[in-house]
Amino acid sequence: MAVKQLERQEWTKDGRKWIFYDYVKNLDGTRRKYKSKKFLTKTEALKAEREFLTMNTERADKDRNMTFKDLYTLFYAYKEDKVKFTTLKTYRDRQKFFKNLENVKLKDFNIEHFEKWKKEINSYGYTTNHKNHLFKFFKELLNYATKWYNFNFTATYNKMTNFTNPNEIPKEMLFFTYDEFKKFISIEDDILYKAMYETLYYCGLRRGELRGLTWNDIDFENNYLSVNKNVVATRGDEDKSYIVTTPKTKSSVRNIPIPKVLLDDLKALYKVSNNHYGFNNSWYVFGDTEPITNGKIRTRKNKNCKLAGVKQIRIHDFRHSCASLLINSGATINVVAKYLGHTKIDETLNTYSHLFKNQMNEIINIIDNLN
């Protein structure tokens, strides 16, 4: 290490002109130059140099023995104040997929470790798309270690490949046709649940967006509802614990026109809610002072599917059902994307391109008729 005085033109306005510098060894043995900030006196620079040397030596020893478990802990702590609660929850949930790597030191990580991890993930039976989300997250962890702790995974990183399965049969997307939904909703005699499932089906809301609706978000005069909040369960689906966040993306904040059948039922539900003691427009549309739980939404849905004699679909599949309804009614991809709150049209196309098949055939018919 060395302390030196800078040239006159490099001094700061308040006279700081002393620095120290050194060549610091990375964990892979390569070296990089470190240059300190500027100090007022040589004594200050020398003191800072000693502190840096001690700290850097201790940190190097610690980092050299960092395991994947250490990395995951550091990564999670770093992200805590930078991402949404839902994203943090995803990070927590994914930790189990790296259990067998926990005791592997990063400096020892090689392609054999990765291939062993890949083989384990393949054994779970997930879709290729889901497995590649895990692969992408794996690379995010390695990039974090590279950026903040100077690890070099180049030799291994360049050999890591994503998951492929040319023989995979795409899972069929489940959704209610209009006739199936009419059967499903016909057996519902509670106005709260009737209006709730109609909102999911006709408006294509995500579950958290539905739970976040308050009566302030319903404009009966102009016939639209405003999506501007997202309610996320912090524990199990049956638990009432939750937090209110912003919607998934900026595009998810949107106003959706309310069809007449839903508008009539929302007005009926509003009258019922208005009779409760202490009611005001800040109450949740589907709940009261607190939103309805995920468990209640799912349990009632399961019961209704069975009674109506229709297939069981997930709550999120009501959103797919809405997309199918819009597409089969002639809506363009732009309209569907905006209605569902997708950030990019590509997202809509990737998810629902197969549903546009009928429209593609109609285009051919138009061209054929011209000729």
- Rounded to two decimals, the pTM is 0.74
Strand (E) or helix (H) holding 146: helix 128-149
* Owner of token pair 């779970």: 124
Confidence of residue 364 (pLDDT cuts 50, 70, 90): low
Give the 3-state secondary structure of residue 5. Answer: strand
The pLDDT tens digits for 56-86 are: 655 555 567 889 999 999 999 999 988 988 8
Q: What is the pLDDT of residues 158-204, one digit of tens each?
A: 999 999 998 887 777 899 999 999 999 999 999 999 999 999 999 99
287-331 pLDDT, tens digit each: 999 999 999 999 999 999 999 999 999 999 999 999 999 988 888
**CB neighbours (10 Å) of residue 347?**
15
Closest C-alpha among 174, 223, 228 to residue 206: 228
Query: Residue 149 pLDDT > 90, yes or no?
Result: no
In the chain, where the domains are located? 2-64, 68-157, 178-363
pLDDT at 22: 77
Superfamily of domain 178-363: Intergrase catalytic core (1.10.443.10)
DSSP string, 284-347: BTTBSSSBPPHHHHHHHHHHHHHHHT-----STHHHHHHHHHHHHTT--HHHHHHHHT-S-HHH
Residue corresponding to tokens 């040239």: 7
Do 196 and 297 touch, CB atoms closer than 8 A?
yes
- Buried-exposed string 269-304: b where 16+ CB fall within 10 A, e elsewhere: bbeebeeeeeeeeebbbbbeeebbbbebbeebbeeb
Q: Domain 68-157, CATH 1.20.1050 — does that match? A: no
Neighbours of 255 (CB within 10 A): 13
